Amino acid sequence: MYVRKTETLMSDIRSKIRRMERQALDAHPRTTSITSADTTLLSSMVEVLNNVVWSEAPELKGKIPKSWLQHHNDARLNFRNDEGVCFASLWLDPPRGDKFSFPLKYSGYNRPEVDIHPQHYNEVVKKWAATELASKAKRAEIEDQFGTVLDQVTAFMGQHASLNAAVKAMPEIELYVPDEYLSRMRAPTPPRAKKAAPEVVIEELNIDVNALASAAIAHRIASAGS
């Protein structure tokens, strides 16, 4: 059956590509908070945080009366790489429902933010940071890959009046079309005279067909394993 290209079809194709992207990103989650269930990482984060906020006078940590300190229910940790670029931010709650006790340098903060640089890491946090950086790099790669897919699929579909013509010119496009449209296209229809359509050369749009196919195939493999 003839399936005319409509804005609804294009919107559904874009939505499917974005869903595929989100599913791929879900395999590489970012850390946004540390729970009390992860006691080793939590205690290591608290240790690093206290070392940073007391770095100007570490000898005074634990010796100043609590009434002289600023107390906070939580703190935001901004982790920076060797170039000083923030690659992860998370809220940290003190263990056992306590409060953080910081020097008066942090007295103006309702919810203090503390920069954590590589020289501050202990071994546990260093390992966590390496995992987080690898996840960030993979997420950037996925976002770039699907951004290219979205642009190329949109450009290619823009050259065709129907889904039928697009699939005939590049069968790989089916990987990004919702099943309901493919089922409609494959449904039998009474024969009718074919309209002449201008020939579109894939190379003119600089479309990497192999890249389109591999992104969708990787998504299917990931979906089957989940």
Residue 108 pLDDT > 60:
yes
In a domain, 126, yes or no: no
pLDDT digits (tens, 9 = 90+) for 197-222: 444 546 666 677 777 777 776 776 66
% of the chain surpassing 90 pLDDT: 54
142 and 220 inside one domain: yes
**52/72 Cα distance (integer angstroms):** 15
37 and 117 inside one domain: yes
59 and 13 inside one domain: no
143 and 216 inside one domain: yes
In a domain, 145, yes or no: yes
pLDDT digits (tens, 9 = 90+) for 89-102: 998 888 776 888 88
Q: How many domains does the chain have?
A: 2
Highest mean pLDDT among 57-66, 132-141, 188-197: 132-141
- 75-80 and 33-34 beta bridge pairing: unpaired
Domain end, chosen from 93, 121, 149, is at 121
pLDDT at 199: 47
Those residues with Cβ within 8 angstroms of residue 75's Cβ, 6 or more apart along the chain or in another chain:
49, 91, 92, 100, 102, 111, 112, 113, 114
Range of the domain at 202: 7-27+137-225
Domain end, chosen from 87, 121, 155, is at 121
Task: Read off the pLDDT of each residue in 105-112 and give the average, rounded to a whole number.
Answer: 75
Which pTM does this prediction carry?
A: 0.73
DSSP state of 64: S
**47/28 Cα distance (integer angstroms):** 26
In a domain, 1, yes or no: no
In a domain, 128, yes or no: no
Residue 84 pLDDT > 80:
yes
> Helices (DSSP H) in the chain: which residue ranges?
7-26, 39-53, 123-157, 163-169, 179-186, 209-225
Task: Read off the pLDDT of each residue in 139-143 and give the average, rounded to a whole number.
Answer: 95
Residue 137 pLDDT > 60:
yes
Residue 175 pLDDT > 50:
yes
pLDDT at 193: 59
Residue 145 pLDDT > 60:
yes
90 and 161 inside one domain: no
73 and 142 inside one domain: no
